Structure 1
């Protein structure tokens, strides 16, 4: 199940990935940090809690981790040109990886306008939460 929308942009060394295990559920927690050398193992000297993570991937079966690793290996092969059909594939236009974020912004703006017509104002953070709740309930 996917809950909410988020985009993680890798490539600058500013995403801290921390593995965790609790109650038999494995997790990979992502936190924005000060940039450092990509791949450098930074000692975890500070204490942190999962509620500080901006994205958490949880796993109840190790097979799901294997599939994630395989897909990441495919992405890597596509990027370095070694993926079998990547050399012959022709796409009419580039993919817009920001499109889903724009759709979310459009949803928020539309919802904001509907609420304003009722005479109410909701701060931005509240709008994000309200839209998330409405999506989870299937109203948006």
Structure 2
């Protein structure tokens, strides 16, 4: 299951091809941009499926990121790019070793 509750937190586990990540619009108390995360049948990671719906119902989006300003999307993109860069480093696992800023 790609979306799990873990120690009181919601965790989205990527890398198994069984989570759908979709952009769109959503109407909450106000209209806003959204990226939704939904469980799906396993498939190839990055596989694209055409989605005819642009506006999602809140009940159909168990986990979502909403955006009031496009600048907020840029912040998330930068964080994802930095996480990718860190994972691509040969020694990225050393960043997780206690004593290197990863203390709990």
State the TM-score, normalizing by the size of structure 2. Answer: 0.69
Q: Which has the higher helix share?
A: 1
Report if the CA contact (8 A) 1:14-1:36 is conserved: yes
2:39 matches 1:32: yes
- Separation of aligned partners in 1, 2:76 and 2:23: 14
Q: Which structure carries more relative contact order (alpha carbon 8 Å, separation 6+)?
A: 2
How far is 1:56 from its partner? 1.1
Partner residue, 1:8: 12
Structure 1 residues 32-54: Cα deviation after superposition (integer angstroms, max 9, x where no partner): 000111111112368x6331222
More strand by share: 2
Runs of 4 or more above 3 Å deviation: 85-91, 93-96
State which structure, 1 or 2, has the greater radius of gyration over its C-alpha atoms: 1
Alpha-carbon distance in structure 1 between the residues aligned to 2:92 and 2:49: 34
Gap regions ≥5 residues in structure 2 = 1-7
**Equivalence for 1:51:** 59
Q: Offset of 1:6 from its aligned partner?
A: 0.8
Q: Which runs of 5+ in 1 are unaligned?
A: 100-140
In 2, Cα distance between equivalents of 1:67 and 1:27: 14
What's the C-alpha RMSD, in Å, of the aligned pairs? 3.4
